[in-house]
Amino acid sequence: MPDDFERMWADLAPVGRSATSGGYNRSPFTAPETELRAWFVEQCRARGLRVEGDSYGNVVGWWDVGAGPAVLTGSHLDSVLDGGAYDGPLGVVSGLAALDLLRSRGVAPARPIGVSVFVEEEGSRFGLACLGSRLATGAVSWDQARELRDRDGVAFGDVVAGGASSSLLSSVGTFVELHVEQGRDLVDRGAAVGVASEIWPHGRYRFDFAGSANHAGTTRMEDRADPMLTYAFTALGANKQARLAGERATFGRVSVEPNGTNAVPSHVTAWLDARCATEESLAALVEGITTQATDRAGRDGTALVVTVESVSPAVAFDAALAARVAADHEGGDWPVIPTQAGHDAGILSAAGIPTAMLFVRNPTGVSHSPAEHAELPDCLVGVSALADTLERLTR
């Protein structure tokens, strides 16, 4: 017999969890993430689902009922470094549990239903978010993806077979992703479940600051070409610009050379994550941060090179589909809200697949952190909401 929601969640809880922080490290194609994908396949087979994968590591369990374009749900199982338990896995577990609920209701879908797991959604290992769904939709080519490297220099092409075009989504007519909310909108509204209206455009940018290594004790402050100083002013300036505009700018990853306590660095590499309400405001924010950083480098005697690593455009989810998903539920319509976080749903939507997202209330709004949480009663409401949605879409 397949496991229920609580049993499945308990099975996942210890996998990849840090004994010190309580956070999760489930980077793609490492032992914890591989164990979770094997667990997913086992759960699919326990439900009699047909398991299909592609050469990039994406997997779907198909309930082969009905005919015509399929309805796909699911999410991802990988995490950010020292991340939370819910970001990704909640959508996968809820997808399996929703199928169980449909079967217990005696629902006979008129269209096939699938539950998916996309790999490297977070970009925590190979640096490109939603890599699996980008490859599955053709948004990124194998030639581009194969050369992506992790922090140890391992190429993506060394860990997957790759090469062939993915046909995993060829039968998909609609995609619905359930996800823990990564903010407090639903808390403020007093709602357990919401529906996404849009995803803000966002990008990742590498800032390379070059200076001159020197002795921390004997080099006078005015004689230094210190790239750490340029980086520090850039991070502060980005924070101020984003705050004033109501946007998001985050330097969350830094690499320093030679990284010695008693040495002025020779090189600092920092990665900027920027998110804005429009593509025009995103371009303006990054341009403003770059201009300020370049001016500062001129004063510090350092040099700056900015490289665009990825940019995801704004995603406006199918408004009619969102309204259909949100309308006429016990207690009234579910709220329709925007999100600033990227998701596989955004990639499938951009590829022309009608897409909707369900959010489950996050009591603190904290995400990408060990403190990420959702209450069990809200998770079960989410399962029911997803089952209702799948039933509506497969009539």
Is the Cβ–Cβ distance between 24 and 79 less than 8 Å?
Answer: yes
Residue 139 CA to residue 141 CA, distance in Å, equals 7
pLDDT at 201: 94
pLDDT at 332: 86
Residue 150 CA to residue 82 CA, distance in Å, equals 17
Q: Answer with the one of 312, 331, 359 that is the final residue of a domain.
A: 312
Q: Side-chain half-sphere of 78: how many Cα atoms within 13 Å?
A: 26
DSSP one-letter code for 51: E
pLDDT at 164: 84
Name residues whose C-beta falls within 8 Å of residue 334's C-beta, 6 or more positions apart in sequence. Answer: 191, 193, 194, 195, 325, 326, 385
In the numeric block, which tokens belong to residue 50?
């047909």
Residue 45 CA to residue 37 CA, distance in Å, equals 12
One domain, residues 358 and 389: yes
pLDDT category, 100, cuts 50, 70, 90?
very high
Region class of 377: left (phi > 0), else alpha (psi between -120 and 50), else beta: alpha
One domain, residues 64 and 165: yes
pLDDT at 390: 97
One domain, residues 113 and 163: yes
DSSP one-letter code for 17: B
Does a cis peptide bond (omega within 30 degrees of 0) precede residue 258? yes
Instruction: Provide the residue range defining the domain that includes 270.
Output: 202-312
- Residues paired with 319 in a beta bridge: none
| 153-175: pLDDT as tens digits | 999 999 999 998 899 999 999 99
Is the Cβ–Cβ distance between 28 and 125 less than 8 Å?
Answer: yes
One domain, residues 122 and 208: no
pLDDT at 282: 97
In the numeric block, which tokens belong to residue 64?
């082969």
In the numeric block, which tokens belong to residue 72?
């796909």
Instruction: Judge whether residue 1 has pLDDT over 80.
Output: no
Q: Side-chain half-sphere of 358: how many Cα atoms within 13 Å?
A: 36
In the numeric block, which tokens belong to residue 232?
């520090």
One domain, residues 22 and 95: yes
One domain, residues 183 and 237: no
Q: Which helix (H) or strand (E) segment is 171 a member of?
A: none
| Total domain count, the chain | 2
| 237-272: pLDDT as tens digits | 999 999 999 999 999 999 999 999 999 999 999 999
Instruction: Judge whether residue 353 has pLDDT over 80.
Output: yes
Residue 210 CA to residue 270 CA, distance in Å, equals 11
What is the average pLDDT value for the chain, to the nearest integer? 96
Does a cis peptide bond (omega within 30 degrees of 0) precede residue 32? no
Region class of 106: left (phi > 0), else alpha (psi between -120 and 50), else beta: left
One domain, residues 34 and 100: yes
Name residues whose C-beta falls within 8 Å of residue 41's C-beta, 6 or more positions apart in sequence. Answer: 51, 59, 61
Residue 41 CA to residue 358 CA, distance in Å, equals 24
One domain, residues 334 and 251: no
In percent, the amount of the chain with pLDDT more than 70 equals 100
Is the Cβ–Cβ distance between 71 and 393 less than 8 Å?
Answer: yes
204 C-beta neighbours (distance < 10 Å), count: 20
Q: Is the dihedral of CA 228, 232, 237, 238 positive or negative?
A: positive
Instruction: Work out the end-to-end distance of the chain between its first and last CA atoms, rounded to an integer number of angstroms.
Output: 27
In this prediction the pTM is 0.87
User: Which among 382, 45, 333, 320 has a CA at the least distance from the CA of 174?
Assistant: 320
| 183-204: pLDDT as tens digits | 999 999 999 999 999 999 999 9
Residue 157 CA to residue 68 CA, distance in Å, equals 34
Residue 381's CATH number: 3.40.630.10
One domain, residues 80 and 146: yes
pLDDT at 3: 77
Q: Answer with the one of 248, 277, 312 that is the final residue of a domain.
A: 312
One domain, residues 131 and 209: no
One domain, residues 179 and 321: yes
**What is the secondary structure of 112-170 as a DSSP string?**
-EEEEEES-SS-TTTS-TTHHHHHHHTSS-HHHHTT-B-TT--BGGGTS---SPP-TTT
Residue 289's CATH number: 3.30.70.360
Instruction: Judge whether residue 42 has pLDDT over 90.
Output: yes
Q: Answer with the one of 257, 289, 312 that is the final residue of a domain.
A: 312
One domain, residues 26 and 107: yes
